[in-house]
């Protein structure tokens, strides 16, 4: 199946209105970190609380004691890591751009990307989400969901982030609005049917998919044990 066919099929199956609501580029940046490996609703709780307390600013995060930030982030999970990531981001923006995120977001795409990746807690996907949703750049967010879906469809072999991203960007016009929509479609599809444990019976692409459950799910891998805490 060709990429364009796939996207059309997904488009007719899912609804993607208002995928990344935010009042400012900075809120997108904060949200990008909060939603790492976390459902949007959980990240949103924290975003709302931050706004309510007047902390949705670079200075607000930069000045808030790390302990208080951690407490604030608890509902979004991985709260210690995310607190450090947000601190690193806010400090970076304060030191280099006088607390104005636009200083970074208006840079040339590749330079901005490298700079984002140099910040602890920001990896490929978070950097691209920021570039796409906060800066409006045509950077495809090649989430795990994207590589999983394309991989099972037999459209690509590698699961390497950059490889998957290149695969898509080579086949699509560099259109930010389109990339945002497509990303949302992949996420919804992978979450609803092309899951870790796939629901092929319920999949809208079932008849055109080469994936046979058994190859990838045979002998389900041992899950990580929850370590006794405290």
Partner DNA sequence: ACCCAGGTGGCCC
Partner DNA sequence: GGGCCACATGGG
Residues lying near DNA in the complex (CB under 7 A) are found at 19-20, 35-42, 74-75, 77-81, 119-127, 129, 133, 143-145, 158-160, 162, 187, 190-191, 195-197, 220-224, 227
Q: In the complex, what is the shortest distance from the CB of residue 120 to DNA, in angstroms, rounded to a whole number?
A: 5
Least Cβ distance, residue 59 to DNA (angstroms): 23
Q: In angstroms, what CA-CA distances link 138 with 113, 115, 131, 135, 173?
A: 12, 17, 8, 9, 9
By beta-carbon proximity to DNA, the closer residue of 35 and 99 is 35
Nearer to DNA, 38 or 204 (CB): 38
**Minimum gap (Å) between residue 158 Cβ and DNA:** 5
Contact 198, 217 (CB under 8 A): yes
Beta carbon of residue 107, minimum distance to DNA (angstroms, whole number): 18
Q: Per-residue b/e over 23-55, b at no fewer than 16 CB within 10 Å?
A: eebbbbbbbbbbbbebeeeebbebbeebeeeeb
Nearer of residues 7 and 156 to DNA, judged by Cβ: 156
Name the residue nearer to DNA (CB basis): 57 or 128: 128
Distance CA 157, CA 141 (A): 18
Length of the chain: 230
Q: Which two tokens stand for residue 219?
A: 């002998």
Residue 40 beta carbon to DNA: minimum distance, rounded to whole angstroms: 3
**Residues in CB range of 139: below 8 A, 6 or more apart:** 109, 113, 127, 128, 131, 132, 165, 179
Please return the burial class of 89, using the count of CB atoms within 10 Å of its CB with bins 0-12, 13-18 and 19+.
buried
Tokens of 180: 């945002």
């Amino acid at each position: 199946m060709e990429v364009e066919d796939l996207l059309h099929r997904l488009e007719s199956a899912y609804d993607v209105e208002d995928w990344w609501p935010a009042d400012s580029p900075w809120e997108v940046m904060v949200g990008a970190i909060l939603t790492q490996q976390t459902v949007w609703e959980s990240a949103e709780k924290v975003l709302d609380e931050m706004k309510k307390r007047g902390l949705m600013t670079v200075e607000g995060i930069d000045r808030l004691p790390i302990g208080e930030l951690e407490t604030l982030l608890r509902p979004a999970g991985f709260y210690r890591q995310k607190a450090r990531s947000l601190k690193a981001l806010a400090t970076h923006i304060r030191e280099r751009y006088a607390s104005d995120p636009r200083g970074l977001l208006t840079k040339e795409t590749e330079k901005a990307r490298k700079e984002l990746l140099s910040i602890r807690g920001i990896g490929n996907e978070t950097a691209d989400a920021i570039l796409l949703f906060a800066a409006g750049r045509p950077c495809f967010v090649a989430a795990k969901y994207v590589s999983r879906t394309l991989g099972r469809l037999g459209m690509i072999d590698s699961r390497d982030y950059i490889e998957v991203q290149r695969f898509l960007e080579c086949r699509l016009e560099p259109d930010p609005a389109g990339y945002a929509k497509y990303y949302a479609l992949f996420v919804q599809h992978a979450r609803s049917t092309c899951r870790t444990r796939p629901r092929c019976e319920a999949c809208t692409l079932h008849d055109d998919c080469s994936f046979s459950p058994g190859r990838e799910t045979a002998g389900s891998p041992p899950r990580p044990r929850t370590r006794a805490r405290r």
